[in-house]
Structure 1
Amino acid sequence: MVHETKELKFPLIFKAVDTSGSRGIIRVDNNNDFKNAMEYVRAATKLDYFIIEEFLIGDEFGAQAYVQDGKVEFILPHGDYVFTGETGVPVGHYAPFELDEVIINDIKEQLKKAVKALGLNNCAINADFMLADNKPYVLEIGGRSGATCLAELTSIYYDFDYYEKMIRVSLGEKVDFSSNKTIPNASKLLISNKDGIIVDQGIQGNIKKNVVEIQFDYKKGDHIKKFQVGPDRIGHIITKGKTLKETNQLLEETINQIYVNVE
């Protein structure tokens, strides 16, 4: 293993390739961490291999896209809210995500080449990027819609039902993905900082009209986990607005109205 990674610089990322929700991904700072890291990844994967990458320091973001009949119909870059644990885990997203035109063009070129190389067609695309030294790097890409409210983000932003369009393509229909409207929106997961039983949860005060959705995944009496990876979520909030600033402000105000008491 040391010989195989000698050309890479620490820190490294060990990454399972058949999981989601940031499972099977761990940072490795030196050779002494290899054994524990390998056991961690192997416990999460069904395959007999995984990948090793250099750890990048920068701003993580993503993009949603759709490819239909070999054509990429749209590419929607979005910002990520990231929780830092064993590795960075997205706990929310927002759009629009303002980037320089040169970076946007680079993202589009990389994504289209990845779609072609992977042979992806008639499917949603979920891509994760890292912006390091003002250059975008592909972290991973998959032929599916993103989770953590990303299908909802796409629906709200383009003002169409993204779920419906994905289903119609899967049924063999030719679908129009064009949109003349864009709506800023944002979302965040509800998470817990400890394991335990929910003894009480709810919403304080009145909810404003541009709060699109508040969802609790568990009920009183359920056991929940301390947040480490995506599936540890306990709910989510989605907001929209005339501007991204207004949207994010409403998101934080709404989060402060939510309570989940855990013992």
Structure 2
Amino acid sequence: MIKLAIIGASYLQLPLVHKAKEMGIETHCFAWKDGAVCADFSDFFYPISILDKEGILEKCREIGIDGITTIATDMAVTTISFVAESLGLISNSYKSALMSTDKLAMRKAFKMGECSIPKFVEVTDGAYCIGDFLFPLIIKPSDRSGSRGVTKVDIEEQISLAINSAMEESFSKKVIIEEYIDGTEVSVETISWHGEHKILAITDKVTTGAPHFVELAHHQPSSLSTSVLNRIQEETIKCLNALDIKFGASHAEFKITSKGEVFAIEVGARMGGDFIGSTLVQLSTGYDYLKSTIDISLGNYQSPNIRSKGYAGVYFLSEETKSLLPYFRQLNDFDYQKEILNEDLKYIKNSNDRSGYLIYYSDKKVNLL
């Protein structure tokens, strides 16, 4: 039987486990025991930290895995590349993985690749030089996702507190300051095989706005103009090449100004979370993104046949979106999947603060906010 190592075992990886088992593949999940919901569904579970590259490599060598992958988490990316390189399996290079999981290294690579990015500077030992940067600014940890530690500052007096907040969230204790780009937010899902990249879907994003910019909703397909979408696709390919991403799923994020300028914010060498990769892409395009991610890790690939299938999206429940509660509690003709996880709604600072989700599928965009 084909054996697949899955790095991470939280609810984020559960769709991947289910898809692999549906494909008749033996699943081996690695993660901390706390929150490892996949432990009850995978064929084998190993309570090894996803950051323990050597420990996971040793176990994977013992198992004789045929492939290794994850979805929706940046923290697993370097371990996957380390193990795959060591065992001669399909993955992006370890060097590429390091660039795609460190926002500072990523921005340096983007700059070398002539990608369109905001001005940025590294905070070193609490010191920084913003020179001719224009306020407002964004301050963020170099190595976190899910809006953790991200703050918008409008005046210099706010910078120190924002740096401290970002530093607390950062594993590496590295922080970036960059100019804030005012505009629309989108994300892009792609699949790559030997450096050939295919754009699968562009997703419109709704966030809380300043200061933390946590996602409240996602919609596919994007409603932006064709000319802007073309520029986004061009920048996406440049960013993937700059990071030397050659295999598997990727999730890129961009800001679009009122003038139609496209700025790359970041790229992850894994499919997007928030149900974007695991659910919305297949609903809106008919393309089985999960299966393709698994196939590529096993050395198999078929070029995507993307077709417009419908409109799909997800809304998240919080104090900011409490007006959605009636839609959560009633039957709607656009319902695909929904769940209230916590009746105690609160204002959110990161994605973990959200209290539920509603995924829709329809023949038109569903506007609820």
Match of 2:314 among 187, 192, 203: 187
SS in 1 for 2:188: strand
RMSD: 2.5
One-letter amino acid of the structure 1 residue matched with residue 252 of structure 2: A
Is 1:216 aligned to 2:322, yes or no? no
Q: How does 1:110-189 map to 2 (within 5 A)?
A: 110-132=235-257, 133-151=259-277, 152-189=279-316
- C-alpha contact 1:125 1:146 (8 A) present in aligned 2: yes
Per-residue CA shift, 1:73-125, capped at 9, x if unaligned? 22421111211242322221111213333322221121111111101122211
Corresponding residue SS for 2:219:
strand
| Structure 2: runs of 5+ lacking an equivalent | 1-122, 321-325
3-state SS of paired residue (1:40)? helix
Question: Which consecutive segments of 4 or more residues in structure 1 shift more than 3 A?
Answer: 201-205, 223-226
Measured at CA, do residues 186 and 232 of structure 1 come closer, stay the same or move farther in structure 2, by a change above 3 Å? same
Q: Shift of the alpha carbon at 1:209?
A: 4.5
Shift of 1:175: 3.1
Which structure's residues are more often helix, by fraction?
2
C-alpha offsets along residues 40-77 of structure 1, whole Å, 9 cap, x if unaligned?
A: 01001012422211112112222111112211122421
CA distance in 2, matches of 1:3, 1:94: 37
Distance 2:338 2:173 in 1: 40
Does the C-alpha gap of structure 1 residues 83 and 203 become closer, same or farther in structure 2, counting only changes over 3 Å? closer
Report the 3-state secondary structure (helix = DSSP H, G, I; strand = E; otherwise coil) of the residue aligned with 1:84. coil
Letter of the aligned partner of 1:142 in structure 2? Answer: G
How do residues 177-256 of structure 1 correspond to structure 2 at under 5 angstroms?
177-192=304-319, 204-205=329-330, 207-218=331-342, 226-244=347-365, 248-249=366-367, 252=368
Q: Which amino acid aligns with 1:174?
A: Y
SS at match of 1:88: coil
Answer whether contact 1:67 1:123 (CA < 8 A) is retained.
yes
Partner of 1:259: none
Name the counterpart of 2:10: none
TM-score (norm 2): 0.59
Deviations 1:160-207 (A, max 9, x none): 3322221221222123421334211121111246xxxxxxx99544x2
1:31 equivalent in alignment to 2:156? yes
| Aligned residue number for residue 104 of structure 1 | 229
The CA deviation at 1:17 is 2.1
SS at match of 2:208: strand
Instruction: Decide whether the 8 Å contact of 1:75 with 1:108 is kept in 2.
Output: no
Residue identity in the other structure for 2:360: T
**181-190 or 37-46: bigger deviation:** 181-190
Uncovered stretches (5+) of structure 1, i.e. residues with no partner: 194-200, 256-263
| Matching residue's letter, 1:82 | T
SS in structure 2 of the partner of residue 52 of structure 1 = strand
**Between the two proteins, what is the percent identity of the paired residues?**
22
Does the 8 A contact of 2:200 with 2:281 survive in 1?
A: no
Distance 1:111 1:4, change over 3 A: same
Question: When the two structures are aligned, how many residues end up with a matched partner?
Answer: 238
Give the 3-state SS of the residue equivalent to 2:296 in structure 1. helix
Moved more, 125-134 or 100-109: 100-109
2:203 aligned to 62, 78, 96, which one? 78
The 1:3–1:144 alpha-carbon spacing in structure 2 relative to 1, beyond 3 Å, is closer
